[in-house]
């Protein structure tokens, strides 16, 4: 059974960089887009961005200037970096999978989610 296991620092100070990693166990890494989604009480579920096994990315324009994602295919892992965090970035961050679809065409649903990592930003 395919599982996503995620980890990263849970407490940050303003202006620091958020860094999370998600590992894919028991399944293929290629043929999918690997996503980061966050959930906060005030903003609900927000899509941050995605990356495929070849490193092709798509980011939410609202966060694009601060976000970067990377993959490590040898370890079936992908990572999120979000720079210059503020209290507004406090949220539960999820990694999630969706089936590959071509660029500039409709996407696909998120069929597998990680358990989530609570990240709090506080001075």
Partner 1 sequence: DIVMTQSPESLAVSLGERATINCKSSQNVLFNLAWYQQNPGQSPKLLIYWASTRESGVPDRFSASGSGTDFSLTISSLQAGDVAVYYCQQYYSTPWTFGQGTKVEIK
- Nearest Cα neighbor of 81 from 115, 48, 58, 112 is 48
Question: At its nearest, how many Å lie between partner 1 and the CB of residue 74?
Answer: 26
Question: At its nearest, how many Å lie between partner 1 and the CB of residue 67?
Answer: 12
d(CA 105, CA 108): 10
81 binds partner 1 (CB under 8 A): no
* Three-state SS at 73: helix
107 binds partner 1 (CB under 8 A): yes
19 binds partner 1 (CB under 8 A): no
User: In angstroms, what CA-CA distances link 40 with 5, 47, 57, 98, 116?
Assistant: 20, 12, 23, 22, 12
C-beta closer to partner 1: residue 16 or 39: 39
C-beta closer to partner 1: residue 34 or 110: 110
- Can you give the binding site for partner 1, defined by CB under 8 A? 44-47, 58, 60-62, 94, 98, 106-111, 113-116
């Amino acid at each position: 059974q395919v599982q996503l296991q995620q980890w990263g620092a849970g407490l940050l100070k303003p202006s620091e960089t958020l860094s999370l990693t998600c590992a894919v166990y028991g399944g293929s890494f290629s043929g999918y887009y690997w996503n980061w989604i966050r959930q906060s009480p005030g903003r609900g579920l927000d899509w941050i961005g995605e990356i495929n096994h070849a490193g092709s990315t798509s980011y939410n324009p609202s966060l694009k200037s601060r976000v970067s994602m990377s993959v490590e295919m040898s370890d079936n892992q992908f990572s999120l970096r979000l720079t210059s965090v503020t209290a507004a970035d406090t949220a539960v961050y999820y990694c999630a999978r969706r089936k590959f679809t071509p660029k500039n065409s409709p996407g696909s649903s998120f069929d597998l989610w990680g358990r989530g990592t609570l990240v709090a930003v506080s001075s």
